[in-house]
Amino acid sequence: MKLEKIDLQIIRVLQEDGTLSQNGLAERVGASPASCWRRVRALEQAGVLRETVRLANPEAIGLTVTVFCHLRLKNHLPETTAAFEALLDLHSEIVECYAMSGDWDYVLRIVATDIASYEAFLRNKLLRNPSVSHASSAFALSRRKYTTALPV
């Protein structure tokens, strides 16, 4: 899909506030509500715009620890990778996972209520997975920037 200037404006505005009404969005981007609605639907159908969510404040719900866990698999056979990746959907503590180049196979962002609960998760879930060979954890001291908005 070729994105026009108005499409990029719509994306930018919706990334800031996904709760805007069609009229509110149209007003912010300088288009008619009907035109805006058609463009939003086209962006959704093309997969440019994904689901609409409300972001929770992790600290407000007791998730005060953020850990970046680097993992190495025992091998890179398809069944090993598939077994590990199946684990991802089973544990809501894992909020992000990236396959990596370099020394580690994956980096996970994991949230926990405290260090003890993370340690239990690491020992009882991640390290017991037969696909996992090694793990290294880095604890975030504080968050300096967090955004889900992409630069458009």
The DSSP symbol for 65 reads E
Position 1 scores a pLDDT of 87
Reading the chain (152 residues) residue by residue, the pLDDT tens digits are 899 999 999 999 999 999 999 999 999 999 999 999 999 999 999 999 999 999 999 999 999 999 999 999 999 999 999 999 999 999 999 999 999 999 999 999 999 999 999 999 999 999 999 999 999 999 999 999 999 999 99
SS3 letters across 86-139: HHHHHCCCEEEEEECCCCCCEEEEEEECCHHHHHHHHHHHHCCCCCEEEEEEEE
Phi, psi of 110 (to 5 degrees): -125, 140
